[in-house]
Amino acid sequence: MSLYVESLPDQHPLSPVRGDRNKCPVPGTLYNMNTVEEFQGLDRGDLLKREAKKIWNDICSGRAIEEGTLLLRFFVISFADLKKSTFSYWFAFPALFLNPPATLVDIRPASQFFNLDEAKSLSMSLNEWRNSKLTTDVPFFLVCISSDEHATIRPLRELEDCQHDAKRLLFGFYDSCNGKYPGWPLCNYLALICSRWKLEKVSFLCYRESNRGFPDLGRSLVGEALVSVPQEWRDAQHVPKSLGWELDGEKLSAKCVSLARSMDPLRSAEIAADLNLKLMKWNVFKDMNLETLTTVKCLLLGAGTLGCQVARLLMSWGVRKITLLDNGRVSMSNLLRQNLYSFEDCVAGDMKAVAAVKGLKRSLPSVKAEGVVLSIPMPGHPISTQDSSNVVEDCKQLQNLIESHDVIFLLTDTRESRWLPSLLSANANKIAINAALGFDSFLVMRHGSGPISSIPKDGEEVEDASASLSLGNSSASRRDGGPRLGCYFCNDVVAPIDSTSNRTLDQQCTVTRPALASIASGLAVELLVGVLHHPDGIYAPGDIAHSNVAIERSLGILPHQIRGCLSQFSQLTLVGHSSDSCTACSDAVVSEFRSRGMEFVLEVLNHPTYLEDLTGLTSLMKSASSFDIDFDIDSNEDGDI
């Protein structure tokens, strides 16, 4: 650590002649305390004594003669309250003092001490001394004035030669202080001279420079110090007393600086928001990739109870690029359960997607959030011919949004509203996270990769996701050759249908225990963070509870599905592989979508049994009916009032 900074570049017209002029290196130690109690309870007397002993040892060993900067040791104790942006610090410059103390006499400006010839010669010698790369960092030196009034600068180790050759000899030192008296470096300098050479009368030059780095004899001082060697110094084990704690005005106390008012409020909010993550990375999660979290783009389909919770938690993990899609308006029943909305949003009749962005920016103005008002086309909800063009445009917009984001969260009210996003995510091979609620149960899962036969290896470049996928056997799409994980619809034996028409309010919406959405949302976000930090990413296999990988990874296991029941306070981690008859991610469905595009989507919307025929579920149901198997499908799983 150094006691100086360079505020002007070397090329600046007001800068010193050399970049290293007008300053001198000073070695220092920073003692930073982790708590305010440590800072306040520090034994300052013992610390000052220990630092002074270092200086004394360098004097006794002779090391300070060769490395003069060791006499200028300093230290600072500090504590930073990062939450309040306040910084407490206390500098100490250990100075050994003589007993009896030295007496300074005849102190006057150097320009009054030397004659014109001596002053001119001395200025030239000092300038050459400071220009030299070998001596510019040497703060202590000898000034030798010969009989012909020629001045030379010599190192301390040549004292004996100078005593024989010089008509006048001064002990010089670089002093960055101003005023009528020499600065604190003279204390330790006299201790060195007194201890090593036993001199009782010392002539010194307190050398100072002008603002441009040239010798300034008008500011420099010359004087004499009368000293005597203290008796106790003859004991090699003795350490002289010292002082040196910096005053705060007239008080002996630490200084405190608050940067809160001077800091940009937006920047302060960003620093505070990232503080927990940085502490996590420092203490626990050392493999955390903050850059990945900051740059990942998340698309939240649904801005209801789940969407609001997920958005806030994503920001807590450092995600700063969030898009929320919804087609509803803020209502009175939303306010207590959906924390991004206010009473004013409800009264104004604001769209949820727009109001949610305002809610996010209230917490962190720098978040790059966007709201999209869009209705997701759903199977089982037929559309008229005149509306088909608008629906196609909605489908294309949704497809563009999914392809332009890295992660898709499926958080919509109904099961059928998740079908098209699931298909588009599989087609683009995007990370998809699903969360669904019952009254006291929940499901959180990550979709597997798309049905591709060729997975890019590490180091290979990947082109546009939708263009680079080549379809193949969906049961062998993982990097390690294992079966790929299933999606939300892989376990279904019927296509998604209309779950809201001709139903009462309690049938349309899933009534849930208030805490359930928070639990599911938290698990969904944690699941994403696990995927982003897994070496295989979207291709990562599903782990189950009590797996050994929990020890190997900082975040523990990475499950495929998490099913919980709040009434039992239980939770299960399950693994489900993809199905060749899946109505959303199977080869047959994705291939048909790529072949026919939006024409295929329109047919699915208008003909509920089309998906079952395409995937073979119709023939499966016929085969199963011969065994009198009753399929009871509860489609009302995750509604939101």
Domains (range + CATH), the chain: 103-236 (3.40.140.100), 271-379+386-542 (3.40.50.720)
Q: How high is the mean pLDDT of the chain?
A: 84
Helix or strand run (H / E) with residue 256 = strand 255-258
CA distance 128 to 323: 65
Q: Is the pLDDT of residue 427 over 70?
A: yes
| Predicted pLDDT at 284 | 83
Helix or strand run (H / E) with residue 107 = strand 103-109
| Predicted pLDDT at 65 | 92
| Predicted pLDDT at 25 | 77
456 vs 580 pLDDT, higher one: 580
pLDDT band at 466 (very low <50, low <70, confident <90, very high): very low
| Predicted pLDDT at 627 | 60
Known active-site residue 565:
no
User: Which residue(s) pair with 153 in the sheet?
Assistant: 143
3-class SS of residue 437: strand
| Predicted pLDDT at 479 | 56
Using only C-alpha atoms, what is the Rg of the chain?
A: 38
Mean pLDDT of the region 468-494: 65
Percentage above 90 pLDDT, the chain: 54
pLDDT band at 428 (very low <50, low <70, confident <90, very high): very high
| Predicted pLDDT at 112 | 93
| Predicted pLDDT at 624 | 67
187, 308, 487, 509: which one is catalytic? 509
pLDDT band at 461 (very low <50, low <70, confident <90, very high): very low
Beta strand segments in 134-185, E: 140-145, 151-154, 168-174
Q: Is the pLDDT of residue 433 over 90?
A: yes
pLDDT, tens only, 317-352: 999 999 999 999 999 988 889 999 999 999 999 999
Q: Is the pLDDT of residue 554 over 80?
A: no
| Predicted pLDDT at 164 | 81
Q: How many CB atoms lie within 10 A of CB 99?
A: 11
User: Which residue(s) pair with 369 in the sheet?
Assistant: 322
| Predicted pLDDT at 16 | 39
Q: In this structure, are residues 598 and 604 in contact, taking their beta carbons and an 8 Å threshold?
A: no
Packing angle of the helix pair 388-404, 419-428 (nearest 10 deg): 50
CA distance 369 to 321: 6
| Predicted pLDDT at 467 | 35
Exposure pattern of 223-239 as b/e (b: 16+ CB <10 Å)? bbbebeebeebeeeeeb
627 vs 457 pLDDT, higher one: 627
Q: Do strands 28-33 and 255-258 pair parallel, antiparallel, or not at all (unpaired)?
A: unpaired
497 vs 246 pLDDT, higher one: 246
CA distance 92 to 488: 65
Mean pLDDT of the region 620-625: 74
pLDDT, tens only, 293-307: 999 999 999 999 999
pLDDT band at 131 (very low <50, low <70, confident <90, very high): confident
Q: Is the pLDDT of residue 19 over 50?
A: no
pLDDT, tens only, 52-75: 999 999 998 999 999 999 999 999
| Predicted pLDDT at 475 | 40
286 vs 312 pLDDT, higher one: 312
| Predicted pLDDT at 17 | 40
User: Which residue(s) pair with 256 in the sheet?
Assistant: 88
Mean pLDDT of the region 451-469: 44
Mean pLDDT of the region 277-285: 85
Q: Is the pLDDT of residue 202 over 90?
A: yes
